[in-house]
Amino acid sequence: MLFDTHCHLQFSAYKDDADEVYKKCANRGMLLNIVGSQRDTSVRAIEYAEKYPNAYATIGLHPIHLISAEVDEEEIQFKSREEEFDYNTYKKLAEHDKVIAIGECGLELYHLPEGMNAEEAIRIQSVAFVEQYKLAQEMNLPMVIHVRDAHRQMIDLIKTLPGIRGVVHCYTGNWDFAQEYLSLGLYLGFTGVITFPPKKTDPKSQTDLLEAVEKCPMERILIETDAPYLAPQAYRGERCEPWMVEEVAKKIAEIKGLSVDETITQSTENARRLFTRLKP
Ligand SMILES: [Zn+2]
Ligand SMILES: [Zn+2]
């Protein structure tokens, strides 16, 4: 059973056809984890999880919504809306039985508001991350962790948080950082980025990423799309949809010398081990 462990089907990119996109996924017998990025998208993730039998929700506050900034994700541009993490609001959401994780939350130095330095951003984001860690611990849920240009700071912070469970989603780092996350008990989520050709300006980053895929033990790998972003190479330029996660499985299978079926079975088994609230 194919499982897109990280998508945003509740985002406005699907405002006209979320039902059809879900149907395409359900016809393939897929599972979906619909991930919130702030309060309204977390509430909507739960609404979708109620409406769609094979969909689950993750609720939390993304670091780009802590500080308002101009954001440009592929062709989608928006101004992030600032929000403070309110523990009780999110705790109420987390009590829903289709909520399987807390997130996405984490550290992000890629989208920095003008005039803010990295230390200040990391300080603000760390406070919100630790709050969400506390909520995850209280609710006995894993975390969906977002990291962009801040692996060192993220690993150092996670080391101070005992018992943390979760996945570092859309992992695009190298094997060195990957090993540190793995030694902290975390899973790595890979997206369509692993199917991209190397960047002309920075071919090494893709080689490093593929090395991480190759060396990461199969039982710690999750697959995801991060749809509507990051359509795999076969669909580059299109809006990404959760069923495209099969391309990620294909690439992992190729790198690891496994069949696509084995890759899908193993990664879904991993996801079920991590997301303990998922119904069998
Ligand atoms: Zn993310
Ligand atoms: Zn995401």
Q: What is the pLDDT of residue 74?
A: 52
The answer to the question of residue 46 being in a domain is yes
The answer to the question of residue 280 being in a domain is no
Environment class of 260 (CB within 10 Å of its CB; exposed 0-12, middle 13-18, buried 19+):
middle
Q: Where are the beta strands (DSSP E) in 50-156?
A: 55-59, 70-73, 76-79, 99-108, 143-148
217 Cα to the center of ligand 1, angstroms: 22
CATH number where 39 lies: 3.20.20.140
Angle at 108 between CA 12 and CA 245, to 5 degrees: 50
116 Cα to the center of ligand 2, angstroms: 23
Which ligand is nearest to the Cα of residue 227, counting in written order? 2
Which ligand is nearest to the Cα of residue 146, counting in written order? 1
The answer to the question of residue 24 being in a domain is yes
- Residue 24's domain comprises 3-274
pLDDT tens readout for residues 142-162? 999 999 999 999 999 999 999
The answer to the question of residue 279 being in a domain is no
Q: What is the pLDDT of residue 115?
A: 80
Q: What is the pLDDT of residue 77?
A: 59
The answer to the question of residue 243 being in a domain is yes
Query: Six-digit token pair at 248?
Result: 């990620």
227 Cα to the center of ligand 2, angstroms: 7
19 Cα to the center of ligand 1, angstroms: 23
pLDDT tens readout for residues 115-147? 889 999 999 999 999 999 999 999 999 999 999
Total number of domains in the chain: 1
Q: What is the pLDDT of residue 116?
A: 84
157 Cα to the center of ligand 1, angstroms: 18
Closest CA to 20 of 239, 229, 172: 239
The answer to the question of residue 255 being in a domain is yes
pLDDT tens readout for residues 98-112? 999 999 999 999 888
* pLDDT < 70 regions, the chain: 68-80
